[in-house]
Chain A
């Protein structure tokens, strides 16, 4: 059931108990976790934190810990499947689920006792009505009606006939109801999409309790920006949420304007910026940033020589000397940096890039440290998905979680360096895929498969990195192809996961259109294709559109998918 008053029905229940926190492995979940941890620390709540990256880890961790806890909080996992079925908990366990995955499973919505959803109901949820899906089983007993002890044969016959007629009508009604139910559920669960960021939900809870701080606001901003970077929400929703956060930012940070009441330099200051959408440009050189941001790389077609010449033209149009542009941004001439944003926007408009600037936020503390929200998202994501084999997944998670605190700036800078390598690897892989025509049309969708020997392929075995690569590849492909029909197709991407086990990670991305609502049907499609061909798949990730597949089953899986979708 949906929790209406987060404070009374969630926080008051939880704050004098020991709770177990399951946190999924994405940046939004990390930010929500940080906010919740800060609230717990203020109130001395005892909690245990378990990072989980998939359903199997969730189940094993649950089995380990279920004896010790009654209250479980799940962040960014668990809303889109039947939790009680998967976890088989005891009767007195209560689960609080704060998840962005939609659609929310109907069992989770209509269970009143054990599952409480920390989800705002004004998100367009469109949950089907209760009566359409659940039917009292007691009604069916009437079907097996008692054989009447008729006295007279004629009466018996008419009564039997009546009973038969009644039974058949009931059976027919039941079949119709079931068919309708299947249709409703199919429509409801067909498309996967994402709702409001969990970090924003947690920040709302903190605000309701008047415990919100600037730091928590920053984490909420980073959570929202993570959704935007990964194209999980529509542009309109992003702008609406930015508006909501901007009100909070003004409320916390209005003192910066007045001269008499100046804050200490060490205090965090968040400000709203209408800044360039070039990734990491303030911590890199402008040239590298233009090269490695998917927006500019796709539109300039930087994988071709012609595209690189256009980039040079672009820089020349703005009057920026190449030498300045190639050195670190912080060492660029101040005269060039002053009007940089406006200059770039003007020139970008001439070259057909209308959305060069986006609404975002930046944080500022000390004399030196200034970060945009997207910088922090890239850094944290790279820390969490770095391909070092010696550290376990939990270590990466903890490192990424630490990098979000203000006191661990060295980790954040390390994350920024990793993010730069990551972005470069992504663009190089895209360039090689496009130049060697690895993206083929299979009919109802495009397909691309990364070979084992590709450089940096270990980087792309993790789901978030692979999804990001696929989205950027699709965007670049749309600009590179002349075939009008291909531009509207979705993309299925495969990358090798483990050579010993012979598995590949497969990811499905919805088509790239301007007004797209980011709804992804690949989750259900993959399930059905796997069933029909008996392929050995593992639907382990919380995003149903990412699966693991045995390499030998790849071709029959794809054939099944083609026939399913055409």
Chain B
């Protein structure tokens, strides 16, 4: 899947908003939405708050994990461990990007958070590359990686390893459902 699909899936995540209007429940195909009560914080699937914020109809609250101290702790932990640590939210990259682009005035210390998230992402990508590298050199058939997110897997599907012998077409395919990384080697 590509980046747009990943972002679309992230929009199911719930985010708290404070609307500045009132509206009764809306019945949609995917589920019910509402009721919107004036100035009452309320969790809402993520696609809506961005649209409402752009039309200045609500105020977004950052999720609990989007806090400088918590992020720093997660970042430290990630650096210490060799394997992947649990992420604050399965869609943390997408949510952060959308929130910081559209609602950075509602989030305190937005710049620090942006830097911390980027650091976290970089650390995890580095680990991924190191483990993929080891995997290829040791010529394993199976590898298991926990705690990967959609975005990571999507990124990895785009990695083309130039060190591999061009006569052997190797594709590293990461299977999402099983949350396992299975490498299948095609020898042609």
Contacts and interface: CB of A to CB of B under 8 A. Distances in A.
B100 A264 contact: yes
B105 to A, nearest CB: 5
A55 B54 CA distance: 37
A210 B20 contact: yes
A43 B55 contact: yes
B109 A262 contact: yes
A462 to B, nearest CB: 36
B56 A264 contact: no
B105 A42 contact: no
Contacts of B55: 42-43
Interface in A359-416: none
Contacts of A262: 108-109
A88 B115 CA distance: 62
Contacts of B100: 264
What is the interface residue range for chain A against chain B?
10 to 19
A336 interface: no
Interface centre among A43, A210, A262, A264 (most CB of B within 10 A): A264
Interface string B6-30: 0000000000000010000000000
A265 B55 CA distance: 22
Contact of B105 (A43, A210, A264): A264
Contacts of B110: 263-264
Given A42-B55, A43-B55, A264 B104 contact: yes
B105 A261 contact: no
Contacts of A260: 108
B111 interface: yes
Contact of B56 (A211, A261, A263, A266): A211
Contact of B111 (A210, A211, A213, A264): A264
A267 interface: yes
Nearest to B109: A262
Interface in B40-69: 54-57
Interface string A36-50: 000000110000000
B109 A213 contact: no
A207 B34 CA distance: 26
For the complex of A and B, the 8 pairs showing the least CB-CB separation, nearest first, are A264-B110, A264-B104, A42-B55, A211-B56, A261-B108, A267-B105, A264-B111, A210-B20
11 contacts: A42-B56, A213-B56, A260-B108, A262-B108, A262-B109, A263-B104, A263-B110, A264-B104, A264-B105, A264-B107, A264-B111
